[in-house]
Amino acid sequence: QLQQWGAGLLKPSETLSLTCGVYGGSFGDHYWSWIRQPPGKGLEWIGEINHIGRINYNPSLESRLTISIDTSKTQFSLKLTSVTAADTAVYYCARLTQQMVHWYFDLWGRGSLVTVS
């Protein structure tokens, strides 16, 4: 199960900060991702991290992004700096699972609406 939390209302130029807690399952066997969805729009992958801190970012957001992990708490976090109205979205944390050559998001948090205004 994934439970996520963080501030829901930001002003332009502030830093978005969200955390996702992982409860149950094997923390070390997956990548842990952030995905966002602007209101009424599609899904955008933000980035991912694994238990040893290997990180991959969406190049379109990389300059403003930090994803980190705390294995002792089985949590991972997202920070996005200098937010604008374009960053208003529901932010999901998700588990990325590998099965042979296939990778898929098979467990999702409930989502956190972040509004920049």
Partner 1 sequence: EIEMTQSPATLSVSPGERATLSCRASQSVSSSLAWYQQKPGQAPRLLIYGASSRATDIPARFSGGGSGTEFTLTIDSLQSEDFAVYYCQQYHNWLPYTFGQGTKVEIK
CB of 108 to partner 1, least distance (A): 4
- Confirm or reject binding of residue 84 to partner 1 (CB under 8 A): no
- How far, in Å, CA of 105 to CA of 89, rounded? 19
End-to-end CA distance of the chain: 31
SS3 98: strand
- Confirm or reject binding of residue 54 to partner 1 (CB under 8 A): no
Q: In the complex with partner 1, which residue's Cβ is closer, 56 or 71?
A: 56
Measured CA angle at 23 (ends 20, 27), to 5 deg: 85
Q: By rule CB under 8 A, what string of x and - marks binding of each residue 14-53 to partner 1?
A: ---------------------------xxxxx--------
